[in-house]
Amino acid sequence: MNSTPCQPEILLNASTCEIQYCPDCEMIHLMMGSMVLRIPTEQFKELTKDLGKGLSQLNAYKRSSAYFSERSSFTLHS
């Protein structure tokens, strides 16, 4: 086990999270508020793809919900 503490470099410092990378252990440190996730770089790549897909699904859901709510009143003709 590596006895040297991580010395990650900041990749992104945003209002929602901070993303750091440690070249020694090749881990991503994802900080969101008081929560810190240490993720191997390959899993981080997959996570970002999955989050993008989830965002696309959410946007599609919201678009379809808005469409259906706009058309929620029907007129029946005899």
Q: Which two tokens stand for residue 36?
A: 């810190």
Q: Are 35 and 23 in contact (CB under 8 A)?
A: no
CB atoms within 10 A of CB 23: 10
For residues 53-62, average pLDDT: 92
pTM: 0.71
Q: Are 10 and 17 in contact (CB under 8 A)?
A: no
For residues 9-14, average pLDDT: 97
Residue 77: band (very low, low, confident or very high) from pLDDT cuts 50, 70, 90: low
How far apart are the two ends of the chain, measured CA to CA in Å? 78
pLDDT tens digit sequence for 13-53: 999 999 999 999 999 999 999 999 999 999 999 999 999 99
| Low-confidence winner among 37-41, 43-47, 59-63, 68-72 (lowest mean pLDDT) | 68-72
Size of the chain, expressed as the number of residues it contains = 78
**Angle, vertex CA 54, rays to CA 66 and CA 14, nearest 5:** 105
